A = this chain, B = another copy of it.
Amino acid sequence: MTELENTQIEINELSLDQVFILLEQQNIDQLQLLLSSALPGQIADILEAMPPTERKQLWALIPESLGSETLTFLHDEVRNALIIDMPAEELIAAAELMEVNDLADMIEELPEPVRQSIEDNLSAEILEHLETSLSFDDGTAGRLMSPDVITVRSDVTLETVLRYLHIHEDLPDYTDGLMVINREGIYQGKLLLNKLLTHHEDTLVQELMSIQHQAIPSLTSEHEIALFFERSNFVSAAVVDENNHLLGRITMDDVIHILRSEADHALMSSAGLDEEADLFAPVIKSAKQRTIWLFINLITAFLAAWVIGMYAETVEKIVALAVLMPVVASMGGIAGSQTLTLTIRGLALNQISSGNTSWLARKEVLIGIINGLIWSAVVAGIAWLWFQDIGISLVIAAAIVINLIAAAAAGIAIPLTLHRLGIDPALSGAVILTTVTDVVGFMSFLGLATHYLL
């Protein structure tokens, strides 16, 4: 049994807690041992979870063989901070080991002299790949692709292919098939390893290759690439130019990276944060990054205050209105954010089109009316128990129904409009929505009160 138990390796050998303890004990040997057997992505996560001093200590202990790949897993801000302190030779060595798309992402962020010295030291082949990569915009298939593709011709037999593969020492990671091209380099299809391994050696490649194995046009966006892989069963796919020339390939690990980044971006931008920012950045830097969001919010808060100010006299006479007004605004905000979230998700999944928008809008407004009626009755009841004033109860009930309807309409209209204008609704949708529900909430509640209760 002992032998059996030994072979069971636990996932995640390297834990953050462990690293903190070993660093504190200055148990460098043990730490180096653990690091040498860890995966680069794991090391990157741990580095990002370290305050600056500890991070530098740990970075110095990472073996050079793991360093370059670790760099590619780090977010921009953390990576750039580490790179600045690296000696030129080390940086060049790391660059040579990187995948071309990672190198392109990194090199764009470097100061010109550092960039130049790296480029001067790259082999002609890597430099050419790097230039191709940089000629495409960030976020396109052309930038994301890697050039390490094994190609075969369609008029050879599997035996020839197998012999050709034997020349290689290893195949690139995520090779689920070989790309079939013609004399001109035009992509023709993919020979899956599955087929190669299960068919007779005399078979010709053209009899087996999958021609329905779509290639990705080089200008396709990351978002479309991710949807495409999710719906297919590919591990890798060819990237082609407008003439169907094979340029490179995109692999499933890129897709995982896209999905993680998209989720990260959605989460962080909803709070006005930059997903590339360092959790342990200097205080002043972080404060500066966050202050813009507070400023935008301040404008909307003063807009709401201004609306209340218009009804200052009413509030002065009936102070219960000041007590209850946050209830109206916040019920609208919550209901509206539900509709907003659904719409943002629908847009991200390409599930909203002119064919279903009106159905969806009608549905959301109806839900607003139903929930508005239910909760306005409850709120009116509580208000009556509290202030014993039937007028206030009726006014707050009406204001809640109005605000929930406005919230539903805004929850659909705001993201659709932002989307059409090319603005990411995940970033600014919530701020605009809350402004609407605050203004409508305060205005309907205090306006109705001014009209009927004074």
Contacts and interface: CB of A to CB of B under 8 A. Distances in A.
Contacts of A302: 327, 382
Contacts of A344: 267
B331 A49 contact: no
A217 B5 CA distance: 12
B17 A334 contact: no
A260 interface: yes
A28 interface: no
B271 A338 contact: yes
A353 B17 contact: yes
A188 B356 contact: no
Contacts of A217: 8, 10-11
A73 B77 CA distance: 37
Contact of A268 (B41, B284, B329, B341): B341
A315 interface: yes
Q: Interface size bucket, A side?
A: 35 or more
Q: Lowest 9 CB-CB distances: which A-B pairs, in order?
A: A20-B355, A41-B231, A263-B263, A49-B351, A322-B322, A271-B341, A39-B231, A171-B194, A301-B327
A253 interface: yes
B334 A308 contact: no
Given A7-B188, A171-B198, 9 more contacts: A8-B215, A12-B224, A166-B197, A262-B263, A267-B345, A270-B270, A283-B370, A312-B319, A312-B320
A186 B1 CA distance: 11
A326 B326 contact: yes
Given A231-B39, A259-B256, A353-B49, A287 B367 contact: yes
A244 B5 contact: yes
A50 interface: yes
A25 interface: no
A421 interface: no
A45 interface: yes
Interface stretch (A86-94, A113-121, A130-138, A292-300): A292-300
A161 B363 CA distance: 59
A235 B263 contact: no
Contacts of A359: 51, 280
A194 B220 contact: no
Given A8-B217, A319-B316, A356-B51, A272 B162 contact: no
Given A49-B353, A174-B233, A260-B230, A305 B326 contact: yes
Contact of A354 (B17, B244, B316): B17
A233 B198 CA distance: 24
A209 interface: no
Nearest to A225: B11
B279 A346 contact: yes
29 contacts: A8-B243, A11-B214, A11-B224, A16-B351, A19-B355, A20-B353, A45-B350, A49-B351, A166-B200, A171-B193, A171-B197, A174-B176, A175-B194, A193-B193, A233-B253, A263-B266, A266-B267, A270-B270, A271-B340, A279-B346, A287-B367, A290-B335, A291-B374, A293-B334, A297-B331, A298-B327, A301-B331, A304-B326, A315-B323
